[in-house]
């Protein structure tokens, strides 16, 4: 079966707020065989709760070995599956690795079953078969019929509370399962401990601690039922233990109010009438059971499901209407789906009282900001955070303050690399939080202590024992003997160091600028002029002898090959072009990248790269080359930037089930789409400039947080008219190939005149 990413189901009509607005265009990605990785469930913008179905229970490992199959379930939901095992409350959106999947809830009826069973025989457990024909996927709402139990499941959410509504048949054997051992990327031993307290016949509280991608992660909950359960019980799957204490005096399996163990499932029994609705609130907290209960009481009063759904969709409508576009129906679906994805992450990580658990595992209170988590920075520094600096500056200000809080609490005194839930999982390369900080400060978004932020950047960049930084500082590159990703690490450090230099320049700290602008040139040490590509270098200074320019495996790069990574000098394209032999040679190299054929064998061992995300040899479905199409602007061929951008937009983003050519990676793929559809892109975040491309919209009005608007207009827009013959900025002819951040946030209008013919040289 093809390995593709699904954009979503055809949507049923939504509430009146959506029918009159933009929510109706959102078609959330809902999973695929290989590259789905995005959940189809219910959440609000940047919500802590992301409530979604799980379609199987694939383990991370069997007999201690990675299964590979689990990669298909990074978000828990796989479109090709025929069964649902339950609905859990935390997910990642479009990542290539995973965790979470907390507190799985499943309604059933008939004889009680405490195992999920197998997909080939769903009646062997509490899972149920389902049909896509009964699914409804909307922003803030999910609905599906659980066919085997004849139960209609509906989900919606607030920021910290998931609200379930289950419509049961008549039965004296109706149950709601609470699976406290289920999780995404699960394996034996991942669940460290679980505790549940039954407060009364409608309320339970508890927590669970896991050891996974986040090494020490504790999530607290409060769960309330709209109807009193007639009985309850639990099954502990811990297996034999040498010592179990004296709790054996009690029968803990049934109607016992205090439960603890590593692997626990609970059940709650009900009698139901035909079409009776039982509703469940599940509130989460990073701090305590009491805070979870406070979150529930603050955000969902009563049991009006439709009201909560309406509120969730109103929140989405408020965010989506910040940009109003004129475009084809397909382009509107692509654009607002992308905007939806971009506003899922980062996620709120604080209770209604402002408390959160810090990296030091202590309880902190956010003072003057909202604390956020889910920082997939290797992906999102490129376009998502720059997009937030335009459309969500106050929120990105809080995100940067959250990163600074992370730094303050870090025992290693490092800014986040890839952090979630009071942990850094250290995934991917670079120290790209410095890019996010520099971009926010250079663009005037950050309101905190900028000099302290620069100091944090310096400390992070000088952490010698982290992934080759010491050798990078000493030699100007990382040797191939020391790291399998030596080249990509060196290139990414060099860009990050340039960001630090820009921040130092902004703050007038010349000594810091001098140090880091020099370090930003270290990319040259991996450029082999004899072949014209970046190449691994040995400790003795020689280049690695055995080297394949097409392969993505064991060649010195993370998730990419040198054809893509050799262009990763976003901070100094002019110097790169000179090294590569000048504009003419670089133009031919870029043309080859977009038109060559990259055989499957060269990326077969790289999970994050699939055929659907590749254009020639250019890998759009993965992030390292996202800026490359814009490099034609630096060699006097802007028409090729324009045509390549429009080609990528058409090929990689479609309003169809297989409409996205790679992992969305917490919104990065979608942020690229929005920038490029609007006609400009941040090639080097940390700069105040955006490179011009070819807008795909007919027009767009950006309603900015400061009350001003920025309008994009594309005259003579069509699928054939992909070239730009003229640009006006605020009514005056604009001859350059960049615009500044101030041009946007000060309000105004940019007008592109589109043409079917390429113009030579620069845009007039």
Q: State the burial class of residue 216 (Cβ atoms within 10 Å of its Cβ: 0-12, 13-18, 19+).
A: middle
Tell whether 111 and 214 lie within a shared domain. Answer: yes
Tell whether 672 and 587 lie within a shared domain. Answer: yes
Tell whether 540 and 679 lie within a shared domain. Answer: yes
What are 82-127's pLDDT values in tens digits?
A: 999 999 999 999 898 999 999 999 999 999 999 999 999 999 999 9
Looking at the DSSP assignment, which residues form a beta bridge with residue 197?
A: 205, 258
Q: What is the mean pLDDT of the chain?
A: 93
Q: Is residue 10 part of a domain?
A: no
Tell whether 744 and 621 lie within a shared domain. Answer: yes
Domain carrying residue 251:
16-303
For residue 56, what are its two tokens? 């199987």
Q: What is the per-residue pLDDT for 762?
A: 52
CA distance 221 to 223: 6
Tell whether 562 and 656 lie within a shared domain. Answer: yes
Q: What is the per-residue pLDDT for 750?
A: 98
Longest dimension (CA), the chain: 86
Question: Beta strand 723-729 with 748-755: parallel, antiparallel or unpaired?
Answer: antiparallel
Q: What is the per-residue pLDDT for 18?
A: 41
Q: How many domains does the chain have?
A: 2
Q: What is the per-residue pLDDT for 761?
A: 54
Tell whether 280 and 335 lie within a shared domain. Answer: no
Tell whether 248 and 356 lie within a shared domain. Answer: no
Q: What is the per-residue pLDDT for 13?
A: 31
Q: Is residue 102 part of a domain?
A: yes
Q: What is the per-residue pLDDT for 660?
A: 82
Tell whether 246 and 362 lie within a shared domain. Answer: no
The CATH number linked to 270 is: 2.70.98.10
Phi-psi bin for 119: left (phi > 0), alpha (psi -120 to 50), beta? alpha
Q: What is the per-residue pLDDT for 606?
A: 81
The CATH number linked to 563 is: 3.30.2080.10
Q: pTM for the complete prediction?
A: 0.95
Q: What is the per-residue pLDDT for 12?
A: 31
Q: Is residue 559 part of a domain?
A: yes
The residues near 427 (Cβ < 8 Å, ≥ 6 apart) are 97, 213, 378, 417, 418
Tell whether 552 and 672 lie within a shared domain. Answer: yes
Q: What is the per-residue pLDDT for 704?
A: 98
Q: Is residue 315 part of a domain?
A: no
Q: Is residue 298 helix, strand or coil?
A: helix
Cβ atoms of residues 371 and 119 within 8 Å: no
Phi-psi bin for 140: left (phi > 0), alpha (psi -120 to 50), beta? left
Residue ranges of the chain whose pLDDT lies below 50: 1-19, 31-35, 763-764
């Amino acid at each position: 079966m093809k390995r593709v990413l699904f954009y979503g189901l055809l949507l049923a009509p939504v509430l009146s707020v959506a029918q009159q607005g933009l929510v109706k265009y959102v078609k959330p990605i809902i999973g695929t065989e290989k590259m789905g990785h995005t959940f189809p469930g219910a959440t609000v913008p940047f919500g802590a709760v992301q409530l979604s179905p799980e379609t199987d229970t694939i383990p991370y490992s069997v007999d201690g070995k990675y299964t590979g199959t689990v990669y298909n379930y990074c978000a828990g939901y796989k479109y090709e599956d025929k069964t649902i095992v339950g609905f859990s409350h935390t997910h990642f959106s479009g990542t290539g690795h995973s965790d979470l999947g907390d507190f799985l809830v499943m309604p059933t009826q008939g004889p009680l079953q405490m195992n999920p069973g197998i997909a080939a025989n769903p009646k062997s457990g509490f899972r149920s078969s389902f049909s896509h024909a009964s699914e409804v996927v909307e922003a803030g709402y999910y609905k599906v019929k659980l066919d085997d139990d004849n139960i209609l499941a509906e989900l919606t959410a607030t920021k910290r509370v998931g609200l379930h509504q289950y419509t049961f048949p008549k039965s004296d054997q109706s149950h709601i399962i609470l699976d406290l051992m289920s999780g995404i990327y699960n394996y034996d031993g991942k669940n460290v401990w679980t505790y549940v307290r039954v407060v009364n016949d409608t309320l339970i509280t508890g927590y669970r601690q896991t050891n996974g991608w986040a090494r020490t992660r504790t999530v607290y909950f409060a769960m309330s039922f709209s109807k009193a359960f007639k009985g309850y019980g639990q099954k502990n799957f811990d297996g034999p233990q040498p010592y179990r204490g004296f709790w054996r005096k009690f029968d803990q399996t049934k109607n016992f109010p205090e439960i603890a163990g590593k692997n626990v499932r609970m059940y709650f029994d009900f009698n139901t009438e035909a079409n009776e609705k039982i509703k469940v609130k599940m509130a989460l907290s990073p701090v305590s059971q009491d805070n979870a209960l406070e979150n529930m009481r603050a955000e969902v009063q009563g049991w009006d499901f439709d009201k909560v759904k309406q509120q969730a969709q109103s929140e989405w409508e408020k965010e989506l209407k910040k940009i109003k576009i004129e475009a084809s129906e397909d382009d509107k679906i692509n654009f607002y789906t992308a905007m939806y994805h971009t506003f899922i992450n980062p996620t709120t990580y604080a209770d209604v009282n402002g408390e959160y658990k810090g990296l030091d595992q202590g309880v902190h209170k956010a003072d003057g900001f909202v604390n956020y988590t889910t920082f997939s920075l290797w992906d999102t520094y490129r376009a998502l955070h720059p997009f937030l600096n335009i459309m969500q500056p106050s929120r990105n200000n809080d995100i940067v303050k959250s990163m600074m809080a992370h730094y303050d609490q870090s025992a290693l005194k490092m800014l986040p690399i890839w952090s979630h839930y009071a942990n850094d999982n250290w995934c991917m390369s670079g120290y790209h939080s410095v890019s996010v900080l520099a971009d926010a400060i250079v663009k005037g978004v950050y309101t905190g202590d900028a000099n302290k932020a620069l100091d944090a950047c310096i400390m992070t960049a000088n952490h010698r024992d982290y992934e080759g930084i010491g050798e990078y500082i000493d030699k100007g590159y990382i040797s191939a003997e020391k790291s399998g990703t030596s080249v990509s690490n060196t290139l990414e450090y060099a860009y990050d160091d340039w960001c630090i230099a820009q921040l130092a320049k902004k703050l007038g700290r010349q000594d810091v600028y001098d140090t880091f602008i020099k370090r930003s040139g270290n990319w040259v040490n991996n450029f082999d002029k004899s072949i014209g590509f970046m190449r691994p270098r040995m400790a003795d200074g020689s280049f690695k002898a055995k080297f394949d320019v097409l392969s993505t495996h064991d060649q010195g790069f993370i998730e990419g090959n040198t054809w893509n990574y050799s262009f990763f000098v976003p901070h100094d394209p002019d110097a790169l072009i000179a090294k590569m032999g000048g504009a003419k040679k670089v133009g031919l190299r870029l043309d080859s990248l977009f038109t060559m054929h990259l055989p499957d064998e060269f990326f077969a061992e790289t999970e994050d790269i699939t055929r659907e995300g590749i254009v020639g040899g250019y890998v759009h479905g993965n992030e390292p080359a996202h800026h490359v199409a814009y490099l034609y602007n630096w060699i006097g061929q802007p028409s090729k930037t324009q045509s390549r951008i429009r080609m990528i937009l058409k090929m990689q983003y479609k309003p169809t089930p297989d409409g996205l050519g790679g992992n969305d990676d917490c919104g990065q793929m979608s942020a690229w789409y929005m920038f490029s559809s609007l006609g400009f892109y941040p090639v080097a975040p940390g700069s105040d400039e955006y490179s011009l491309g070819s807008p795909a919209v007919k027009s767009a009005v950006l309603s900015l947080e400061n009350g001003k608007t920025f309008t994009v207009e594309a005259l003579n827009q069509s699928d054939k008219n992909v070239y730009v013959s003229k640009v006006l900025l605020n009514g005056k002819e604009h001859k350059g190939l960049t615009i500044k951040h101030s041009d946007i946030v000060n309000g105004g209008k940019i007008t592109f005149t589109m043409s079917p013919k390429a113009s030579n040289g620069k845009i007039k």
